[in-house]
């Protein structure tokens, strides 16, 4: 099949031409790698995604998961790809080499997994095992690392993340699960967890569950929470599997989408014999879990990008093939031939809106992750903190902006299909169903907004936020003197100024005791910031593309400003068309999406608190 998963040319543009990925190989941590190796990995990821993962998408959706005699059975079509996935090492790309992983830069893990994430139901199983394994790697004792980590790294054992409880939801501090200390230093766990993705499956011989609970006698709230390793099967000293642990998979949730992902309700310790080991220090559960949560938030943002990418490309292909209506130039001619709907202005508007948003989200995702790689590998502590600070600020935006816009792109893709898109004859309706959950789990997008406004803007007295604004300003200054880009560069600077202005406005509200103004406007601000960040990154891309487009035109003796000469040139030269498309994509976003920021600024500064002033009965 043609590649309708992601635009591999845009992926490589973002990695190499924009972010200069090859420079990571000059750092000691990544000295064993090379651009050729990165290219090979991406080519193999594309092949595996196309041949092994995409074919399971519709089948797994129809078959779903089933619970029989306390054991979850995932779609049968997952069995072979999962084994191949782990054998190829896709599940342990970013694990350090000393732990049995490949030690690749995290951005390479993200880039490879962008090929896979369109079928989140499938990749959730190895992804959760990877996240749980990282917790053991960082916080586990030497005994725990030896006991659990090797088989988690190879994919022989799975993992999950057990946080949510009935009635508590996102209020983690209100959990009721308890851990009772035993004489030998282990614990007995009791409690119920809900909405546990990959809570059980038949892909691996054991599953290692990190579970949040409160040690009996510890204080209420998040400060009293610890985290525990709870294996499905206890592990004997020789590494063999012992008895089945005392917890029950009570049910699998019936969901709107991701049917191949087992979302479980788990009852721990009904027989008062659920074995658990403390992971990390006592009452450090939130600190430990937040490492996995932050990884999960990046992965969920990637889910939004992956859903958007595949939905856009399918819609693009459909609009090229679907004949309907005549050209507007011949709308009065009843005998005019039918044309592909891509020629209709409103369809082109939807396509360019999707294209520009996908490219902006990909740039955001990759930029945030390469900043993390720099923070982890650069030895200068000042520079390392700079990149870490940018990651801190961008993480809630990656999660929330990419998942919400990702869903809107799947919705717009469906619109391109007309009535056919609403039917299961085409895959776009599944893309939409599978994506919706991404804005809800791993901390709802409203919680991400509160994290951004309540914590991230003020970190280091606002230094991290200002550093990011400084990076944006430097890009604007670089391209402001180029005539073809000056207009959009000025627009981006206006967006950057608006961010700084609202940041100061929120700080002023805090000093005046008007804390409900920033809290009530946290989500609009996050989405506003997402648009400004994407506009900045698209301007950055447009600057690179503009220069390369000009060079290609000059090499062929074609005027880059003559539409009549450009039309046949762009049809013949794919590279020129790609670069021209990058510039047009950036221009569209900056001229049509970025102006929405002005309305948000006006709304925030109105200090309207109608959402708090209306009574419950008034709703």
What is the C-alpha to C-alpha distance for residues 100 and 153, in angstroms, rounded to an integer? 7
Residue 125's Cβ-side half-sphere holds a number of Cα atoms within 13 Å equal to 32
Q: Tokens 């000293």 correspond to what residue?
A: 237
Neighbours of 294 (CB within 10 A): 19
Phi, psi for 180 (deg, rounded to 5): -105, 120
C-alpha closest to that of 269 among 235, 288, 286, 245 = 245
What is the C-alpha to C-alpha distance for residues 184 and 189, in angstroms, rounded to an integer? 15
DSSP string of 516-557, one letter each residue: HHHHHTHHHHHHHHHHHHHHHHHHHHHHHHHHHHHHHHHHHT
Is residue 488 a contact partner of residue 581, using CB atoms and an 8 Å limit? no
The DSSP bridge pattern shows strands 187-197 and 178-181 to be antiparallel
C-alpha closest to that of 348 among 573, 7, 592 = 592
Angle, helices 463-479 vs 381-417, to 10°: value is 70
For this structure, is 442 an active site residue?
A: yes
Is residue 388 a contact partner of residue 444, using CB atoms and an 8 Å limit? no
Identify each DSSP E strand in 423-532 by its residue range. none
What is the C-alpha to C-alpha distance for residues 593 and 529, in angstroms, rounded to an integer? 12
Catalytic residue among 28, 254, 442, 613: 442
SS (H, E, C) 252-274: ECCCCCCCCCCEEEEEECCCCCC
Q: Tokens 């997008």 correspond to what residue?
A: 445
C-alpha closest to that of 47 among 101, 103, 85 = 85
Neighbours of 467 (CB within 10 A): 16
The DSSP bridge pattern shows strands 241-244 and 233-235 to be antiparallel
C-alpha closest to that of 75 among 85, 67, 65, 83 = 65
The catalytic residue positions are 442
């Amino acid at each position: 099949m043609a590649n309708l998963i992601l635009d591999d040319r845009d992926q490589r543009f973002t990695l190499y031409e924009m972010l200069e990925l090859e420079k990571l190989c000059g750092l000691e941590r990544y000295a064993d790698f090379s651009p050729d190796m990165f290219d090979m990995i991406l080519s193999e990821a594309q092949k595996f995604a196309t041949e092994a993962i995409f074919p399971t998408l519709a089948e797994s959706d129809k078959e779903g998961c089933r619970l029989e005699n306390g054991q979850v059975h995932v779609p049968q079509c997952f069995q072979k790809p999962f084994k191949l996935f782990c054998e190829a090492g896709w599940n342990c790309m970013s694990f350090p080499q000393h732990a049995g992983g490949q030690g690749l830069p995290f951005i390479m893990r993200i880039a490879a997994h962008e090929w896979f994430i369109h079928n989140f139901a499938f990749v959730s199983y190895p992804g959760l095992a990877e996240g749980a394994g990282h917790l053991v790697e960082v916080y586990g004792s030497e005994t725990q690392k030896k006991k659990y980590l090797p088989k988690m790294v190879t994919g022989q054992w799975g993992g999950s993340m057990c946080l949510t409880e009935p009635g508590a939801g996102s209020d983690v501090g209100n959990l009721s699960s308890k851990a009772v200390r035993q004489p030998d230093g282990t614990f007995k766990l009791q409690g119920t967890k809900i909405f546990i993705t990959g809570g059980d499956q038949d892909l691996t011989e054991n599953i290692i569950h990190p579970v949040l609970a409160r040690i009996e006698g510890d204080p209420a709230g998040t400060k009293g929470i610890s985290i525990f390793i709870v294996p499905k099967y206890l592990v004997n000293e020789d590494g063999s599997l012992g008895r089945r642990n005392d917890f029950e998979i009570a049910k699998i949730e019936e969901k709107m989408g991701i049917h191949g992902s087992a979302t479980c309700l788990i009852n721990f310790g009904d027989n008062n014999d659920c074995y658990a080991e403390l992971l990390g220090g006592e009452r450090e559960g939130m600190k430990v879990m937040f490492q996995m949560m932050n990884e999960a938030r990046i992965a969920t943002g990637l889910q939004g990008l992956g859903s958007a990418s595949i939905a856009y490309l399918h819609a693009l292909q459909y609009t090229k093939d679907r004949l309907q209506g005549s050209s507007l130039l011949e709308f009065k001619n009843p005998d005019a031939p039918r044309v592909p709907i891509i020629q209709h202005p409103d369809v082109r508007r939807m396509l360019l809106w999707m294209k520009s948003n996908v490219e902006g989200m990909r740039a955001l995702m990759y930029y945030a992750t390469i900043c993390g790689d720099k923070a982890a590998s650069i030895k200068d502590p000042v520079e390392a903190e700079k990149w870490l600070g940018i990651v801190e600020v961008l993480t809630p935006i990656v999660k929330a902006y990419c998942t919400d816009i990702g869903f809107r792109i799947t919705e717009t893709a469906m619109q391109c299909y007309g009535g056919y898109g609403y039917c299961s004859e085409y895959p776009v309706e599944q893309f939409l169903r599978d994506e919706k959950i991404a804005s809800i789990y791993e901390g709802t997008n409203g919680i991400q907004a509160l994290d951004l406004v309540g914590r991230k803007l003020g970190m280091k007295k606002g230094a991290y936020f200002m550093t990011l604004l400084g990076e944006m300003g430097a890009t604007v200054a670089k391209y402001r003197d180029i005539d073809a880009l000056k207009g959009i560069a000025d627009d981006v600077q206006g967006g950057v100024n608006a961010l700084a202005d609202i940041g100061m406005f929120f700080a002023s509200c805090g000093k005046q005791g008007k804390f409900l103004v920033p809290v009530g406007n946290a989500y609009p601000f996050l989405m506003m910031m997402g648009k400004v960040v994407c506009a900045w990154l698209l301007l950055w891309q447009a600057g690179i593309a503009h220069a390369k487009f000009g060079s290609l035109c000059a090499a062929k003796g074609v005027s880059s400003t003559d539409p009549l000469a450009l039309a046949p040139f762009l049809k013949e030269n794919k590279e020129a068309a790609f670069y021209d498309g990058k510039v047009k994509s950036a221009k569209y976003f900056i001229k049509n999406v970025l102006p929405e920021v002005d309305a948000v600024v006006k709304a925030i500064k109105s200090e309207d608190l109608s959402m708090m002033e209306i009574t419950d009965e008034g709703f």
